[in-house]
Structure 1
Amino acid sequence: MVKNTKGGSGHKGQARKFVVPSSSKQMVKTRVALEDGELYAQVTKMLGNGMCHVLCQDNKTRLCFIRGKFRGRGKRDNMISNGRWILIGLRDYESEKAGGKLDNCDLLDVYSDQDKERLKNQVQTVNWTQFILNDRSNTNTNTNDGDNIDDGFDFTDEKEDEYKKIMEMDLSAKKINLKIEKEKEKDSDDDDIVFVERDDEINIDDI
């Protein structure tokens, strides 16, 4: 076991025997559907309690059960969320559900973003259009959720309100002083102008 030399938040978060080295992660092959009953699917809704709704490649929605392998400490490298691509296994031993109930299936593998690109390039027999459109829709939804929405309310505290009032009073006082100075300058200019009245006739030859 590795000795904890940092302590605090720097200590190991998991036993070394459960940690997969990054080099071996890159060497893991992407699992593809080879057996009958294996289908590609995309998670559409998380239900909790180890279950979720998935849209399969045959355009059918099924109830997927997340096995223990992908839960607990195995959840670290197999995070499941809406839009995630997965591989599921059909339950051939169960009859089809009646009354609009969803058929059951089991989770076999969880694909990363790199796996998704490999599947698009390697598996040509599957139409990935619906999955790709769902990915774009999820991306747009997440982006819109992060936008700032103006609901007409402006939350402030007392100090901020007092500061705004002082700034407004200071600004109005400056405007008044500027107006007074302009009026004074105008009056001063009017005083400098002298009108001279002369009754004498002006002779053009004298100019």
Structure 2
Amino acid sequence: MPKNKGKGGKNHKRGKNDSEGDKRELVFKEDGQEYAVVEKMLGNGWLAAACADGEKRMAHIRGAFRKKVWINVGDVILLGLRDYQEEKADVILKYTPDEARLLKSYGELADSVKINENDEGEGEEEDVDVEFDIDDI
């Protein structure tokens, strides 16, 4: 029986945890682009986003991002606006929380934008302590 010489399988596709994302240069918006915050995941590669210009748009996650870059509610993204459809856009880039904080400090994002840190237990849910005795039940 021959040996497997090719690289493949689930573990190879997953890749190594490189820290190249930290070295990424900050990307600012250009003409035909807009900053947005994800409001709701709609499924099938679509999401509802609140843009910085006050509009609410449906955005499509392009193929290069699917299953590679995970986008969640509250993430700051860069949208490419469509000339032929005002209410739809395409996701170009997802900003990390550090990059979003930098954009906010440079004045690119409004102060009302909340940056999702994805930290567990930070203001999301309150711990409620309920004391009872098993004999009372």
Which of the five TM-score ranges fits, normalised by the shorter chain?
Answer: 0.7 to 0.9
- RMSD between aligned alpha carbons? 3.1
- Structure 1: which 5+ runs fail to align? 2-11, 97-102, 166-207
**24, 30, 43: which one pairs with 1:28?**
24
Aligned partners of 1:25, 1:135: CA distance in 2, in Å?
Answer: 18
Deviation at 1:21, TM superposition (A): 2.2
Aligned partners of 1:64, 1:42: CA distance in 2, in Å?
Answer: 11
- Structure 2: which 5+ runs fail to align? none
Aligned partners of 1:71, 1:131: CA distance in 2, in Å?
Answer: 25
Q: Does 1:88 align with 2:79?
A: yes
**128, 131, 137: which one pairs with 2:113?**
131
**117, 128, 133: which one pairs with 1:148?**
128
Tell me the TM-score normalized by structure 2: 0.73
Structure 1's 30 and 20: CA in aligned 2 closer, same or farther, altered over 3 A? farther
Deviation at 1:135, TM superposition (A): 5.1
Match of 1:199 in 2: none
- The one-letter code of the counterpart of 1:112 is T
Aligned pair count reads: 124
Match of 1:53 in 2: 48
More helix by share: 1
More strand by share: 2
Deviation at 1:14, TM superposition (A): 3.3
- The one-letter code of the counterpart of 2:42 is L
Q: Identity percentage over the alignment? A: 30
Instruction: Please say which structure displays the higher CA radius of gyration.
Output: 1
**41, 57, 66: which one pairs with 1:62?**
57
Deviating above 4 A after TM superposition, structure 1's stretches of 4 or more consecutive aligned residues are: none
**Greater RCO, CA 8 A, separation 6+:** 2
- The one-letter code of the counterpart of 2:113 is F
